Amino acid sequence: MPVIRTWQLTAGATALGAVLATLAVTLAGPWEGGQRAAERQWAAARDGGAHEGRDAKPRADAPAPAPSAPGVLTALGVRAATATADDKAGPALLARELAPLLAAPGLGSLRTASVVDLTSGRALYGSGPAVAVTPASTVKIATAVAALHALGPDHRIATTTSLAPGGRLTLVGGGDASLTSAGLGQLADRTAAALKGRKVSSVRLAYDASRYRGPVSHPIGRNGNLAPVTALMVDGGRVAAGPPPANGYAERGQDPAGDAGRAFARLLSARGIAVAGPAVAGRPPAGARPLAQVVSAPLSDLVERTLTRSDNDLAEALARQTALASGEEASFAGGERAVRKRLATLGLPLTGARFPDGSGLDRRARLSAGLLTGLLSRAAEPDRPGLRPVLTGLPIAGFTGTLSERHTGSAPGAGVIRAKTGTLTGVNALAGTVVAADGRLLGFAFLAGKTTDRDAAQKALDALAAALAS
């Protein structure tokens, strides 16, 4: 993946366009883990630190909200678009430009579209925007919004150990799909130190993945794009050690929780703690007490990683964490109910929508282009800073994630398009944000079904997004 430098961004788009892309999408300012520091402070000041999903009123001493995109653009001397009654030409001109591109043969026989002005919420273009179709990985936008709304951007997922009388040690998975071998080693360090502090040198080890319920296998079956969905896994259940490959596809073990338990036993042994017998599945017995823990990065970071890398394991974990926070069973079915519940609370159009998984690998999923731009609009609202990682996590055209090899070089969209890709056999999608030439921050969603040529479909989708930037 290329290193992003200022001169590269300038070459990829005009200097002003690159500045606008940065300011309009991130709303300016210092960032901590993908969320602007000023927005964090404002959110924390609201009614005892209430996060998205809780009703709260700003305290009297709370700092003013961060400026919305129109204010930022005006400060730059660029005209910010407004939705006035006599402003009819914009949508009409946009329709004349986009309609032929949407008719490209590469997009197959089913295509829908939605374009909105994120600074005003105004719909600028639509073609079947309410028709629910298979969205592929763009469903991760819905999963991310729901998770942030349910848990807040600062939520962390813990993996813990507990000790019961008689030397029964249990490794308890909390559902952190980002847990690495290094993280498990850190937990072993802390656990071994705590055991030695209690004069315990030998344990019987169990591992607990009971936090998640229902089937662990995705309907697609065994697949290198996704491990069995369990509450305890290390390195995404990958067989090979080390960081995951760029495209996320790798051989996966079929017992991630058991593999984690066995790896933990080896780590304890290497730290001077004898493990009697093999690690076995089981919950902490009565009388067990917490011993040590490691926690994930903040949810804001996990959301950004999910979207940038199109990480299926993290997406499924986010759906289950949303279920737990919403009083639903942490399963595929519970995740669907929880995501729908959260999006309904946000007032989004859910007619025909389905969320059978969090990743979009399930072809039964259904989203409309209008729902996708609605999700982006909610994430852009100034009074919802907790949802901002949905925008900052979108891959940057020509530079990061699944768009690193699209809109490259001097292409008009390089550096100013940020979008989530979606690809299944016969399904191609692109949904995200773009800074238009007149300074408006636009949200778009283009969904194509019954495609026969992936490359042709992607080029057609890229042409649509690039047209918004030029």
Catalytic residue among 137, 296, 326, 359: 137
Catalytic residue among 140, 296, 368, 377: 140
Six token digits for residue 210: 């009971």
Annotated active-site residue 140? The verdict is yes
Annotated active-site residue 310? The verdict is yes
Catalytic residue among 127, 310, 359, 377: 310
- Active site residues per annotation: 137, 140, 310
